[in-house]
Structure 1
């Protein structure tokens, strides 16, 4: 009964859904900024805002790099950043303040209330608030959730936004104290806070939330309902546990912070960096393997497949297109690359028997193939040329050659096998064989 309205709201162009999200993030953003300004004062707020912006761009670039094989739309990533910076931060600051006041009223020592709140309450509230962004993207953009890499990227952008707002608060308070005491800049609490939060551990919040993202991403590949429920819950529990350990590190003695940092945070960070590199490589291999089937069926040129599976070749192809056809050609090639990657991962997920194997799979595949075919005249030659220039093909390969295409084959094996045939000249050549 309610499925039709929900589908309308889930569409990217749905004005109701877009308006609701904009209003939600804007109102929560105004509220959280005013709360932070009240706590830090206007000078502290402005200084904290400027300093908190410094680590944002490098962190966003790092998470964007992980997802470059099949990039998410910038609008979706900015929504995740905005959710973390506005909605999640507002929920966290209100809930943490309420919980701390309640614990302080129930205990005799306010210091114990602060410590208990930071270890037992803050990790649960903050990680749950950030996880809401992942669940929203997973619910309304499930077709773009093709594996752990998507969870990695979405979680990273959400956590970077949350850390940004939190850094504004901490840095603003530190500057307000320094201003009241007249401390010199290099010896100030502001400099120490900036070093700890923006230099020593800018990856802390992303590190926690990425664990939730990996659970949600793994759930996207799960064929069983239990997997789709348990894996995100397991990832969220791991994020809360690591967050609690980090917040409680100061209770392990005078050097507890450095012990936890060196023995837990840095190793986990290294493992996740290695995992990110491996996920990216596996995704590019999946793109190459699945697109080879479409190339054999005539939808892609043979030289396009290695170029689409190489990030340097993709960048070079876009540059060549802009050089020859301007920005419009560059945009066409970028969309062609994104659609090709989405098509490959859609088929890869369906072939593995995941939830993408649904009644509208054939329609999604047909839509992506049609969009590829419309831009192939622009993207195909520059991709082939980029493959040759990057030495992904033999040097004697002629990127302008157009050999006869083979006859179309079935694209997805299994009970719903179907055959999509190329149109235009490719269809005429295939029919003449």
Structure 2
């Protein structure tokens, strides 16, 4: 074989005005790059899963049982969502992320779990002795269901971690996404359990407080509405820790979410297995194991939320020193009470539109602090500069309304903050600022394309 001759520059290259070569792209690649197509396909998939799960649940419970189960299962949902939204008040996640998580849990994860658990239970019943049929059901609930269900719910957390990385910064984000996903899963599962219980009561003529429906409602809705959110929050905790690790810790960024998922499966298995314990075994597991774990997770989430406020207090002074923020703003933005007062002041003086402007200003400033914090801890976003410029642009156009309200809120709520505290070095300069922005100057690009 002869080697090809070396490449030589042509003596008469084509003129610069000649059209550039555009390689043909596969139809799938073209569609995948279209955001509307991706979103539409995801919505269609979740809607199809919802219709299938609706048909399956209605087939098992009957129309009347389905309606009763739906009415009872929806009761804890607003309270759980409100609790997770409260945890996420420092940097609220976009509603589209939360809606996706809830829809995935209530439709996709439930459908996969219902089908997989059904096949696994049938397999166990056909491979064990008939006299041990009850043991087969217990084994399925203890060892099969936790693996299937927690894997299905973890898929939502993984997808948002991979494709909405900008909104995934730490422990609180992971716990909130996982909790919302598990809330949706528990909602659909409760419809099935409560609907079956009601159908059973109708068949045997039971009613009142002694009915199976009342007992199921007490155990699943009143006594343990946090069960599924607690299990899946362990998975979210692992992804949150991984999100905070530097890029160079690749092994830990994979290992920690896997260990967290195994922990969620273990907790789920212990919970399901305790239902088959004799006597008061279930109550003992509930009081001595599940409640303390729930308390520790709640404390950790609240501590992480306070740590997020400290992040704002540490990194926003860099932008104040450069002239983008006024001195009171790092104080006000690091206090939830001051934030609320600023929104109320804006609403009283400028109406709902002004309050919305202040809320947007707070959101953009919070995102700016977290963006800089990621650079400080060694995990800068690949689009750090462009994202920083975008956030500063939004702040500049809202500062005339937001800054006076935040200044008044700081005066009303003293915030413990060490004046003149050192600004953490991030290794990434505040873009385009050799000096504070002069009064009256607007946002724009300075020399060398820097945003000022």
Instruction: Give me the TM-score of the superposition, normalised by structure 1.
Output: 0.89
Which residue in 2 is equivalent to 1:420?
A: 432
2:282 to 257, 260, 275: 257
1:353 is paired with a residue of what secondary structure?
coil
Unaligned runs of 5+ in 2: 1-22, 418-422, 447-452
Q: Distance in 2 between matches of 1:250 and 1:150?
A: 31
1:138 aligns with 2:187: no
- The alpha-carbon distance between structure 1 residues 27 and 231, as it changes in their structure 2 partners (threshold 3 A), is same
1:370 aligns with 2:393: yes
Which residue in 1 is equivalent to 2:384?
A: 361
Stretch moving more, 182-191 or 332-341:
182-191
Deviations 1:248-273 (A, max 9, x none): 01333222211110111001011011
1:229 to 254, 259, 263: 254
Whether the aligned pair in 2 keeps the contact of 1:411 and 1:420 (CA below 8 Å) is no
Which residue in 2 is equivalent to 1:87?
A: 108
Deviations 1:13-51 (A, max 9, x none): x21122112111111111111111111111111011011
1:291 to 309, 316, 319: 316
- The alpha-carbon distance between structure 1 residues 426 and 172, as it changes in their structure 2 partners (threshold 3 A), is same
Q: Distance in 2 between matches of 1:70 and 1:55?
A: 24
Deviations 1:381-407 (A, max 9, x none): 11111222223499xxxxxxxxxxxxx
Whether the aligned pair in 2 keeps the contact of 1:292 and 1:305 (CA below 8 Å) is yes
Which residue in 1 is equivalent to 2:65?
A: 44
Deviations 1:276-325 (A, max 9, x none): 11111111111111112211211111112221111122122222222222
Q: Distance in 2 between matches of 1:54 and 1:143?
A: 33
- The alpha-carbon distance between structure 1 residues 412 and 7, as it changes in their structure 2 partners (threshold 3 A), is farther
- The alpha-carbon distance between structure 1 residues 256 and 33, as it changes in their structure 2 partners (threshold 3 A), is same
Q: Distance in 1 between matches of 2:346 and 2:405?
A: 6
Q: Distance in 2 between matches of 1:186 and 1:232?
A: 43
2:50 to 6, 10, 29: 29
Q: Distance in 2 between matches of 1:300 and 1:211?
A: 37
1:426 CA displacement: 6.1
1:149 CA displacement: 1.0
Q: Distance in 2 between matches of 1:8 and 1:424?
A: 47
1:364 CA displacement: 1.2
- The alpha-carbon distance between structure 1 residues 10 and 139, as it changes in their structure 2 partners (threshold 3 A), is farther
2:404 to 381, 393, 398: 381
1:350 to 375, 378, 393: 375
Which residue in 1 is equivalent to 2:147?
A: 124
1:71 is paired with a residue of what secondary structure?
coil
Which residue in 2 is equivalent to 1:405?
A: none
Q: Distance in 2 between matches of 1:71 and 1:129?
A: 25
Which residue in 2 is equivalent to 1:17?
A: 38
1:251 is paired with a residue of what secondary structure?
coil
Whether the aligned pair in 2 keeps the contact of 1:145 and 1:151 (CA below 8 Å) is yes
Runs of 4+ in 1 over 4 A off after TM superposition: 5-11
Deviations 1:160-211 (A, max 9, x none): 0001111111111111111222222222111111111111111000000000
- Map 1:16-415; keep pairs closer than 5 Å: 16-109=37-130, 110-223=133-246, 224-354=249-379, 357-392=380-415, 413-414=426-427
Q: Distance in 2 between matches of 1:6 and 1:326?
A: 47
Give the number of the structure whose residues are more often helix, by fraction.
1
- The alpha-carbon distance between structure 1 residues 6 and 120, as it changes in their structure 2 partners (threshold 3 A), is farther
1:248 is paired with a residue of what secondary structure?
helix
Deviations 1:314-351 (A, max 9, x none): 12222222222222222221111111111111111210
Stretch moving more, 258-267 or 418-427:
418-427
Whether the aligned pair in 1 keeps the contact of 2:371 and 2:381 (CA below 8 Å) is no
Q: Distance in 2 between matches of 1:233 and 1:8?
A: 32
Whether the aligned pair in 1 keeps the contact of 2:323 and 2:437 (CA below 8 Å) is no
- The alpha-carbon distance between structure 1 residues 426 and 233, as it changes in their structure 2 partners (threshold 3 A), is farther
- The alpha-carbon distance between structure 1 residues 417 and 261, as it changes in their structure 2 partners (threshold 3 A), is same
**Equivalent residues, number:** 409
- The alpha-carbon distance between structure 1 residues 265 and 294, as it changes in their structure 2 partners (threshold 3 A), is same
1:140 CA displacement: 0.7
- The alpha-carbon distance between structure 1 residues 120 and 154, as it changes in their structure 2 partners (threshold 3 A), is same
